[in-house]
Amino acid sequence: MIIVLKRDATQDDIDHVVEKIKVTGLAVHISKGKERTIIGVIGDEALLSSIPLEALPGVENVMPILKPYKLVSREFRKENTVIEVRGVRIGDAEVQVIAGPCSVESRDSLIECARQVQASGARILRGGAFKPRTSPYDFQGLGVDGLKFLSEARKATGMPIVSELMDPRDTETFAEYVDIIQIGARNMQNFRLLTEVGKAKKPVLLKRGLSATIKEFLMSAEYIAAQGNSRIILCERGIRTFETSTRNTLDLSAVPVLKEETHLPVFVDPSHSAGRWALVAPLARAAVAVGADGLMIEVHPDPENALCDGAQSLKPSKFAALMDELRKVAAAVGRSC
């Protein structure tokens, strides 16, 4: 359930309500908006039957949350969540673009790529240090060395960095090096991993699973939020269907549906959905038009010789041209890019 407090509720009022709830052993999550403070209560609501919540000082209304995902739902928070990472605001009016190579291949090539995408307008740098590959014989990433190179690229450019975490045992290491922890599609329902990143309190970019429904996607986000971390970015990256002309089928309808169902920022990854660089630009333009808060785009200076996903990577010149196009689309829908 959610407990809506009055506009003039004091901190003492909030503390009093929280204390009453915690005595029952239920979890409490506080969301402070511009006009209202909302207290979310997670657990068996029957334990609150003996407490006259609506009679407590500062309480305006008590309502059940009907969605199975509680903390990430629009019922819990009406306002959009805005996540700030090193001065970059995610989920605000500006459409943010994450760009960089699929895999970190070397220090120098990464820093050069970071400078090129930054010059074109990208605000966040991506790069895989640990790669989940279908084949055990494919390039698996540079590991911790890759994280160190990402850190050096951040120092050189000032750009926040995002990289994919695969193993709960590496959570502490990732929290040390990266600004945003990515949970890939294959791990969307790795609930132990989701719980660990929820505890880490770092922003999390959660990708939709290969065959996940919207409900399953949001329930995975709920695992993270239940640990007290609501700094979650949802990323639609295409789902598996019967269609074979693209790597995956990009579900653009997921963007407005998610914006309706949740207060969290919604990104789109046109690179992984298409699997072909020529399709990235039109899908990226469509994603901005349909309301995405950001994009995640793979860029590589030499795609032909990339160690991972070169076929879907844009060259820096193509990326620069795309950014010019995206600014026009963003302006047409009342946003900036």
Residue 37 pairs in a beta bridge with: 32
C-beta of residue 199 within 8 angstroms of C-beta of residue 229: yes
C-beta of residue 71 within 8 angstroms of C-beta of residue 225: yes
pLDDT tens-digit map of 85-144: 999 999 999 999 999 999 999 999 999 999 999 999 999 999 998 866 566 655 566 889
- The C-alpha atoms of residue 272 and residue 292 are separated, in whole angstroms, by 16
**pLDDT at residue number 201:** 85
- Residue ranges and CATH numbers for the domains of the chain are 2-63 (3.30.70.1140), 83-332 (3.20.20.70)
**pLDDT at residue number 259:** 98
Q: Which band of pLDDT confidence, cut at 50, 70 and 90, is reported for residue 296?
A: very high
- For 287-330, give the DSSP string: HHHTT-SEEEEEB-S-GGG-SS-GGGPBPHHHHHHHHHHHHHHH
By DSSP bridging, strand 96-100 and strand 294-298 are: parallel
Q: How many CB atoms lie within 10 A of CB 242?
A: 5
Q: How many CB atoms lie within 10 A of CB 94?
A: 16
Q: How many CB atoms lie within 10 A of CB 77?
A: 22
C-beta of residue 130 within 8 angstroms of C-beta of residue 186: no
Q: Which band of pLDDT confidence, cut at 50, 70 and 90, is reported for residue 330?
A: very high
CA 248, chain centre distance (Å): 19
**pLDDT at residue number 139:** 56
% pLDDT > 90, the chain: 71
The answer, yes or no, to whether residue 232 has pLDDT greater than 70, is yes
pLDDT tens-digit map of 176-217: 999 999 999 999 999 999 999 999 989 999 999 999 999 999
Q: How many CB atoms lie within 10 A of CB 59?
A: 20
- The C-alpha atoms of residue 302 and residue 194 are separated, in whole angstroms, by 34
Exposure letters 5-32 (e unless 16+ CB within 10 A, then b): beeebeeebbeebeebbeebeeebbebe
Mean pLDDT of 236-265: 96
Mean pLDDT of 224-234: 94
- The C-alpha atoms of residue 216 and residue 189 are separated, in whole angstroms, by 8
Average pLDDT, the chain: 92
The answer, yes or no, to whether residue 60 has pLDDT greater than 80, is yes
Encoded amino acid at 143, one letter: G
pLDDT tens-digit map of 136-177: 655 566 889 999 999 999 999 999 999 999 999 999 999 999
**pLDDT at residue number 266:** 98
